[in-house]
């Protein structure tokens, strides 16, 4: 069993509470979204989730930096008063003293650059899946000197770590460096039944189950098809949004995730909160993650993975074959 340190306890509790909040918002007001400059939707749940995790971090480790996806600027714009009111209302269910000013302050604690030791949060990874009522994840990770030490994924619509079931029990995945990857239902019970999980042992690339997103804006769909052909893949892909895909790989129900550069966004750089929790979840389950050139993901360069190009995640056994396929098709 993993060592239940104060940091581990905080991460589990924060993700469970944030996932519960987010699930509530999805049920009640999922259609309320606005659009950021990069055209990705941001919901009330994004902001309220980040405010809640920021609040919980201040209570447990007030000196530790939070690097989050969101900033409150959009909530302060003219015409956004109703949105801010909604965010404050949901935050107040967990933070009774919430008001618009304190909620914005909590959100903006995440709008900083990383320190040598910091938590990074994606309050909802897979926002479009969230809006559809499908898969998304609350992703939280602790990074120390560039190495991810703890990662937690809260997947409210994922049962047993891989079954898409919006009204199911939900899954929380925990990885601790050197102590494996563990899975439980999203419960508020501290005595949850944690099960250690491992990647698939498949070594034949023709049997590789590729994880494919519904959302194609940040990848190159035609290149992924070429890579699948180069690998000789003969099985259907698994379609799923968000870092929930890392849960599926970690539990052994998929083999390959490809995050290619979209022709529409050739200079796109991955954000650290999009990969940190999923990376350690996969690695501690026995898998491997790198960029498209086989380089380790570099979490020492601020809020983006500026030294990396795209992402390749596999069960480990198929990683070299996937890298070769990437080279063969010029991806």
pLDDT at 283: 98
* 46 among known catalytic residues: yes
Categorize the per-residue pLDDT at 132 as very low, low, confident or very high, splitting at 50, 70 and 90: confident
Average pLDDT, integer, range 249-253:
98
User: What CATH number does residue 229 fall under?
Assistant: 3.40.190.80
Question: Is 35 marked active-site?
Answer: no
Residue 165 lies in a domain: yes
Whether 242 is in a domain gets the answer yes
Do 12 and 82 lie in one domain? The reply is yes
Is the domain of 159 the same as that of 217?
no
In a domain, 245, yes or no: yes
Please check whether residues 273 and 246 belong to one and the same domain: yes
CATH number of the domain where residue 184 is located: 3.30.540.10
Q: Is 296 within a domain?
A: yes
Pick the last residue of a domain from 177, 197, 217: 197
State yes or no: pLDDT of 156 exceeds 70: yes
- Name the catalytic one among 43, 46, 108, 274: 46
Residues 268 and 157 in one domain: no
Would you state the pLDDT for residue 213? 83
**Whether residue 270 is found in the same domain as residue 179:** no
- For the entire predicted model, the pTM comes to 0.95
**1 burial type by CB count under 10 A (0-12 exposed, 13-18 middle, 19+ buried):** exposed
- Which pLDDT belongs to residue 264? 84
Q: Give per-residue pLDDT as tens, 284-316.
A: 999 999 999 999 999 999 999 999 999 999 999
Look at residue 217 in the predicted model and tell me its pLDDT.
60
pLDDT at residue 41 above 60? no
**CA separation for the pair 47, 52 (Å, rounded):** 9
3-state secondary structure at position 215: coil
pLDDT digits (tens, 9 = 90+) for 19-36: 999 999 988 875 556 555
Q: Which residue has the higher pLDDT, 195 or 40?
A: 195
Written as six digits, the tokens of 89 are 């209302």
Domain assignment of residue 160, yes or no: yes
Q: Domain for residue 292, yes or no?
A: yes
Domain that holds residue 33: 6-197
Per-residue pLDDT at 214:
78
Whole-number pLDDT of residue 228: 95
Alpha-carbon span 268 to 261, nearest angstrom: 7
Structure tokens that stand for 328 in this block = 């063969």
Residues 308, 250 share a domain: yes
Flag the least confident range among 40-49, 166-175, 281-290, 310-319. 40-49
| Residue 232 and residue 161 share a domain | no
Q: Are 257 and 151 in contact (CB under 8 A)?
A: no
| Domain co-membership, 136 together with 231 | no
Backbone angles phi, psi at 153, to 5 degrees: -115, 125
Shared domain check, 230 and 169: no
Out of 197, 229, 254, a domain closes at 197
Mean pLDDT of the chain: 93
Catalytic residue among 88, 120, 127, 171: 127
Both 226 and 87 in one domain: the answer is no
Q: Is residue 139 part of a domain?
A: yes
Shared-domain flag, residues 182 and 316: no
User: Are both 319 and 188 inside the same structural domain?
Assistant: no
pLDDT at 118 over 80: yes
Domain count, the chain: 2
With cut-offs at 50, 70 and 90, classify the pLDDT of residue 114.
Answer: very high
In a domain, 1, yes or no: no
Q: Using one digit for the tens of pLDDT, what is the confidence trace for 160-171?
A: 999 999 989 999
Distance CA 139, CA 231 (A): 30
Query: Which of 197, 230, 253 finishes a domain?
Result: 197
Question: Residue 145 pLDDT more than 80?
Answer: yes
Q: What is the pLDDT of residue 48?
A: 97
């Amino acid at each position: 069993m993993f060592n239940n340190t104060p940091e581990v306890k905080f991460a589990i509790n924060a993700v469970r509470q944030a996932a519960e909040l987010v699930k509530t918002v999805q049920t009640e007001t999922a259609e309320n979204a606005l659009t950021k400059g990069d055209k990705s939707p941001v919901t009330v749940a994004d902001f309220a989730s980040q405010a809640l995790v920021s609040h919980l971090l201040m209570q447990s480790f007030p000196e530790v930096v939070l690097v989050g996806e969101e900033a409150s600027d959009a909530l302060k714009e003219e015409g956004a008063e109703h949105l801010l009111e909604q965010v404050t209302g949901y935050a107040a269910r967990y933070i009774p003293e919430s008001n618009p000013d304190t909620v914005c302050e909590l959100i903006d604690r995440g709008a900083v650059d990383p320190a040598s030791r910091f938590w990074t949060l994606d309050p909802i990874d897979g926002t479009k899946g969230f809006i559809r009522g499908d898969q998304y994840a609350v992703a939280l990770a602790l990074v120390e000197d560039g190495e991810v030490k703890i990662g937690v994924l809260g997947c409210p619509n994922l049962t047993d770590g891989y079954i898409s079931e919006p009204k199911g029990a939900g899954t929380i995945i925990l990885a601790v460096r050197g102590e494996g990857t563990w899975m439980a239902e999203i419960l508020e019970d501290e005595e949850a039944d944690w099960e250690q999980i491992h990647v698939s042992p498949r070594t034949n690339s023709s049997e590789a189950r590729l994880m494919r997103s519904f959302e194609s804006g940040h990848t190159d769909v035609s290149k992924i098809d070429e890579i699948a052909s180069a690998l000789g893949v003969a099985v259907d892909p698994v379609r799923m949004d968000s870092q929930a895909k890392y849960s599926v790989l970690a539990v052994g129900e998929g083999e390959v995730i490809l995050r290619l550069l979209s022709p529409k966004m050739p200079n796109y750089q991955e954000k650290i909160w999009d990969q940190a929790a999923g990376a350690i979840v996969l690695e501690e389950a026995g898998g491997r993650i790198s960029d498209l050139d086989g380089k380790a993901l570099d979490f020492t360069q601020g809020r983006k993975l500026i030294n990396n190009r795209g992402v390749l995640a596999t069960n480990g056994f198929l990683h070299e074959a996937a890298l070769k396929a990437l080279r063969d098709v010029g991806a």
